[in-house]
Amino acid sequence: MPLIRSWLASANAPDCPFPLNNLPCGVFSRKGEEPRCGVAIGDRVLDVAGLEEAGLLHLPGGPWLDVPFWNDLMEAGPEVWAALRARLTAVLSDGAAEREAVQPFLHPLADVTLHMPFLVSEYTDFYAGRYHAFNVGSMFRGPENALPPNWLHIPIGYNGRASSVVVSGTPVRRPWGQVKGPDHAMPAFQPSRRFDFELELGAVVGLPSSGPVTVAEADAMIFGYVLLNDWSARDIQAWEYQPLGPFQAKATATTISPWVVMKAALEPFRVPTPPREVPLLPYLAEPGPMLYDIALEVALAPEGGPETVISRTNYREMYYSAAQQLAHHTTSGCPMNAGDLLGSGTISGPTPDSRGSLLELSWGGKEPVAIAGGSRSFIEDNDTLTLRGQARGDGYTIGFGDCTGKVLAALAEPYARS
């Protein structure tokens, strides 16, 4: 699909992350005003809630956008999703008759504050990247036993904390936790010394379900995708994770990008999952390509210093797709809700510079990663981590907006009482 040209010139630049082909969904506010739903286009945000109020955006069964989140519209289903994209494309396309009426609802992105784009109902994080799982397993069990016996058969995941999902730009406080002591000594309660990021893509569920669904049905349930940073305290995780898996090590924060890129915008970039090393059970069979060709990168910037890109990879490296993860999630009859968030798992590639976490990049801290003016084995206080993603089309770019978080020093004494 080529670029769809807009009368807003900034949306037509090949490197602009928000062309008319994209139309990602977010929530914004202007100074002194309440948050409201908007769509990114070029260097502007379009006040779609205002368009609906003014009668310029009629959607089946609406209004849907009179609240500062996208959950109601997501739950309305694919017919409404398609109607939204069709109408916005019509009024923003080059030569649109509604140009003069729509212009007052455009605001510079540089002048607005971005908020959580949807209410997170539940949050599940997966461990579905083949290279990441192999790297981590090799560190702790050796390459011959790197993958757990079930890994090639099932998308492994755990239920995380929806309450700790935050939007890009929210500072993240280094957590305290219990870590293993030396030899047979008592464990210690201290700030994490091995705080890390994980580069992921998050799938946002739009349609609820009440029972098992197929992979095709699961794909139809997904409204869109966000960049996702699954902050991880590796020293806390190493002590707590046996036998039930991650708990407090993953509960500090999960940062998402401010824009939900609708699945329809990513359709031209579908690619298949990799060849299977062992056959999957029939319920996980895919009806077609379920991954996307999305280039990803991670940058680290110390306080006052320039950023260094420390990893580059691609979402196409995943072993299990979001649709497979969602389908598997429903096998027990587990209900899924509009606003459920599914983390892909860390997206690592086959080369050392394509690893999606510092645990892998520094190989457990043994091989520090070079950055401008120094090196890192794990995140230090006041470091800023930024995740970026883009899919390249014919003369246009589909972007998510930066997914950024600055790590603040741990509280001095979390249990001190005056």
Give the separation between CA 415 and CA 189, rounded to whole angstroms.
11
Q: Residue 24 in contact with residue 259, Cβ under 8 Å?
A: yes
Nearest to 123 by CA among 325, 321, 341, 344: 341
Identify the helix (H) or strand (E) that includes residue 49. Answer: helix 48-53
| Alpha helices, H only, 66-171 | 71-76, 78-92, 99-102, 130-141
Between the CA of residue 395 and those of 9, 238, 265, 346, what are the distances in Å? 14, 46, 14, 29
Catalytic annotation, pick one of 115, 132, 153, 329 = 132
Give the separation between CA 398 and CA 15, rounded to whole angstroms.
9
Give the separation between CA 246 and CA 249, rounded to whole angstroms.
6
Q: Is residue 132 annotated as a catalytic residue, yes or no?
A: yes
Q: Residue 146 in contact with residue 138, Cβ under 8 Å?
A: yes
Establish whether the linkage from the previous residue to 171 is cis, with ω within 30° of 0.
no
Nearest 5°: the CA angle 223, 266, 290 is: 80
Sign of torsion, CA 306 114 172 342? negative
Give the separation between CA 30 and CA 352, rounded to whole angstroms.
43
DSSP secondary structure letter of residue 209: B
Tell me whether strands 341-343 and 123-126 are parallel, antiparallel or unpaired.
parallel
Q: Residue 34 in contact with residue 67, Cβ under 8 Å?
A: no
Backbone angle region of 401, left / alpha / beta, with phi > 0 → left and psi within -120 to 50 → alpha: left
Q: Residue 285 in contact with residue 320, Cβ under 8 Å?
A: no
* Residues ≥6 apart with Cβ < 8 Å to 143: 134, 137
Q: Residue 222 in contact with residue 202, Cβ under 8 Å?
A: no
Q: Which residues are catalytic?
A: 132
